[in-house]
Amino acid sequence: MSRSDKHILVVSAIRPRHMEELAAKYELHRWDQATDKDAFLANVADRITALVSTAGVGVPTELIGKLPNLRVITSFGVGYDAIDIAACTARGIRVSNTPDVLNDDVADTAIMLLLATLRRLVVGDHWARSGQWSEKGAMPLTTTARGKKLGIVGLGRIGQAIASRAEPIGMEIGYFGRSKKPVDYHYEADLIGLANWADVLMVSCPGGAATQGIINADVLKALGPRGFVINIARGSVIDEPALIAALRDGVIAGAGLDVFHNEPHMDRAFAEFDNVVLYPHNASGTVETRDAMAQMVVDNLAQWFADGTLVSPVN
């Protein structure tokens, strides 16, 4: 198959250097840059066999329906809840993601948020910068992580990487998931049960319909006024109005959040709480990890065009 036979629709671009590599190998059609997307698509739709996007953007289901010869979607990111996998599978469209290469940075960020939330890093930074330290003396005492119970919602690859970092801190590990895993951590078959048990609820499960809003008002109430919630999963996993109410009313002690509904237009109510640490969905946001993710997209496409298989298939 020649370069002219390899037409790729770009819905959301990956790293610049890797986009240059794709442009050198394939015919790229930049739907992401088109002003009139319908007119653009009318000229290229029949030629498109592959598609590149990112987890944050996904692929609109109606767009898939307009690409009759689409055979593969390569997505930059682990999550694929913004891609209709069932519809793709029904049409024989293969989907790939970029797992594992971001586990360490995401797990590091989870621990960063946990410690920053419990130890009130942002408040402390402001205390020093604003002059309150010299005017008022030491800032109020905070909460230690050592000896606390960390309840992980979703003990997948990232969840286990988080647990491996929390153990040396001196935290006791528990988890909730679809099934018990061959680990020595405390297992709760019920999410309310895990919230009752935990001091810190760490959300690291996949997004999608099955987990939408599972961290709800009942779970937050079970976590209690000394409990904290950390979310590095997807914004959809938490019922945000319930979380905002819980923070406002002292139902829980605080939160560390990397992900939100309607990103990047997060609910501004979160910015009003000094017991919340905010991070702009940047858990995997290091040069090294994003380059590795982009390379996996490149590798998935190369392998697909070579033999019809994928390095990291989803379906």
248 annotated active-site? no
Choice among 15, 18, 29, 281 that is catalytic = 281
Marked catalytic residue, from 17, 20, 226, 263: 263
Nearest-angstrom CA–CA distance, 266 and 260: 6
Residue 69, Cα to own-chain centre: how many angstroms?
A: 30
Catalytic one among 7, 15, 18, 234? 234
Q: Can you list the pairs that 29-35 forms with residues at least 24 positions away whose Cβ atoms lie under 8 Å? A: 31/63
- SS3 state of residue 39: helix
DSSP 310: -
CA dihedral 153, 252, 117, 215 (to 10 degrees): 30
Phi/psi region, residue 262 (left: phi>0; alpha: psi -120 to 50; beta: rest), is left
- Tell me the three state secondary structure of residue 230: strand
Residues forming beta bridges with residue 24, ordered by sequence position: none
234 catalytically annotated:
yes
> How far apart, in whole angstroms, are the C-alpha atoms of residue 243 and residue 241?
5
> Which residues have a catalytic role annotated?
234, 263, 281
